[in-house]
């Protein structure tokens, strides 16, 4: 068993950013990272964090690789009613709330792995980038954007994934901590272990009925791989309309009572006959799920009662205590739906390769589309991009605005290292 300092402790956060921006040949750095940090739950080994393509001036990195870490997932953090009415101030207020959670978990800004940013208006993205650049102080996380109406007239909200340094590194269940909203956790922490991503599911009915039945379907899915509601770490809802989000929160709290419900985030989508789609993240100690037989780095699963698809898996599980979070990707220039889709997947191939992953080791995709042409182009292209037996778990949401000006398609992704022998 290899024991030793993480790359972050050897180079420091600034040094890592420089190293991966070109001070050393990127394939060499990536290989060293895999040798040092891939493995099981290594007692006594510090968490490792590396930034790929760090862009301090924009407040984000192309990707962040995290290993052997207890990972905390937060609820959607809103700025509060008393904040001045500008996107920059709303972002600062939401980051202050995140700062309180970081302090609670004995973490720092440089421990943030991924920020999901929710904008009321895409035009505010540049202002938010400036705030994130100042806040991250040269240690930028992966950042994903989408535009959506938000509760209480907020212009910006966010949720985060970060390294917790306060929670036990060996437990049988994730740890939920509450405080702000009765019945719901503000943050949930899973120690080093297996991370499972369940694609969005959607049931019919009015919003409350659809929420209740969709949650029942999701819990049936994770029960089929040896997990339960106690293993759920985070929930994301794509719903309409946003003004009714509290009825969704009520149903989620009821489904997990008497325990605290996991952290929840919301995006307003433009749907057809279904008012809500829900996806979730779950955690279990290494090897506890029934998918563990041959211990590959990443496994895909479709329960017998759900229809399989060649372009997404119903469930994906990452093993080996190493995850790769990518910033959201969009086309490098305006164009029609096909042009934007091709540009997006070209970037995805480059970033996954630079991060030590591959197109066959993608675990969880979220697609936001704001036009029928972009949605069709995405559907047309996905079969040629993914191995039919290894597509990532995924959710696709039609939204009014994807969070990038003059774009109609955005993708964010979570990946595993390329499936090398352990």
Residue extents of the structural domains in the chain: 7-415
Q: Is 38 helix (H, G, I), strand (E, B) or coil?
A: coil
Per DSSP bridges, beta strands 232-239 and 393-398 are unpaired
Per-residue model confidence (pLDDT) at position 12: 37
Per-residue pLDDT of the chain (422 residues; tens, 9 = 90+): 222 333 333 333 333 333 333 332 333 233 333 333 333 334 457 899 999 999 999 999 999 999 999 999 999 999 987 667 899 999 999 999 999 999 999 999 999 999 999 999 999 999 999 999 999 999 999 999 999 999 988 999 999 999 999 977 778 899 999 877 888 999 999 999 999 999 999 999 999 999 999 999 999 999 999 999 999 999 999 999 999 999 999 999 999 999 999 999 999 999 778 999 999 999 998 876 655 444 568 899 989 899 888 899 999 999 988 999 999 999 998 999 999 999 999 999 999 999 999 999 999 999 999 999 999 999 999 999 999 889 999 999 999 999 998 999 999 999 999 875 43
The conformation of residue 286, written as its DSSP 8-state character, comes to T
Does the reported pTM lie above 0.75?
Answer: yes
Task: Quote the DSSP letter at residue 20.
Answer: I
Would you give the distance in Å from CA 337 to the centre of its chain? Answer: 24
Picking from 21, 56, 60, the residue whose alpha carbon sits closest to that of residue 141 is 60
202: helix, coil or strand? coil
Residue 365 and residue 411 in contact, taking contact as beta carbons nearer than 8 Å: yes
Can you point out the beta strands (E) in 108-193? 112-119, 142-147, 156-163, 175-178, 185-190
């Amino acid at each position: 068993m290899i024991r030793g300092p993480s790359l972050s402790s050897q180079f420091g956060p600034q040094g890592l950013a420089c190293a991966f921006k070109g001070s050393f040949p990127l394939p060499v750095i990536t290989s060293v990272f895999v040798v040092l940090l891939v493995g099981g739950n290594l007692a006594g080994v510090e968490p490792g964090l590396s930034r790929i393509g760090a862009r301090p001036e924009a407040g984000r990195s192309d990707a962040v690789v995290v290993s052997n870490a207890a990972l905390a997932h937060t609820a959607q953090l809103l700025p509060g009613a008393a904040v001045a009415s500008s996107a920059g101030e709303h972002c600062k207020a939401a980051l202050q709330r995140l700062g309180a959670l970081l302090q609670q978990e004995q973490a720092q800004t440089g421990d943030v792995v991924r920020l999901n940013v929710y904008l009321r208006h895409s035009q505010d993205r540049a202002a938010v980038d400036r705030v994130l650049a100042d806040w991250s102080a040269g240690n930028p996380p992966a950042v994903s954007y989408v535009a959506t109406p938000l509760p209480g007239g907020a212009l910006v909200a966010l949720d985060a994934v970060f390294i917790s340094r306060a929670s036990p590194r060996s437990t049988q269940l994730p740890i939920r901590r509450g405080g702000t909203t009765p019945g719901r956790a503000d943050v949930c922490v899973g120690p080093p272990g297996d991370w499972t991503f369940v694609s969005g599911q959607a049931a019919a009915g009015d919003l409350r009925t659809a929420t209740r039945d969709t949650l029942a379907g999701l819990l049936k899915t994770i029960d089929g791989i040896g997990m339960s509601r106690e293993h759920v770490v985070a929930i994301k809802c794509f719903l309409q309309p946003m003004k009714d989000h509290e009825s969704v929160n009520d149903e989620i709290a009821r489904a997990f009572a008497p325990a605290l419900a996991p952290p929840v985030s919301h995006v307003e989508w433009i749907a057809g006959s279904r008012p809500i789609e829900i996806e979730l993240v779950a955690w279990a100690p290494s090897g506890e799920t029934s998918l563990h037989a041959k211990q590959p780095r990443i496994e895909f699963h479709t329960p017998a009662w759900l229809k399989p698809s060649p372009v997404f898996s119903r469930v994906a599980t990452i093993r080996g205590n190493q995850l790769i979070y990518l910033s959201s990707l969009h086309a490098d220039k305006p164009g029609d739906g096909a042009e934007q889709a091709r540009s997006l997947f070209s970037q995805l191939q480059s970033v996954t390769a630079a991060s030590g992953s591959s197109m066959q080791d993608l675990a969880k995709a979220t697609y936001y589309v704001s036009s029928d042409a972009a949605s069709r182009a995405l559907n047309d292209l996905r079969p040629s991009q993914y191995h039919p037996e290894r597509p990532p778990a995924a959710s696709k949401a039609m939204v009014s605005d994807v969070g990038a000006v003059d774009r109609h398609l955005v993708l964010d992704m979570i990946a595993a290292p390329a499936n090398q022998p352990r």
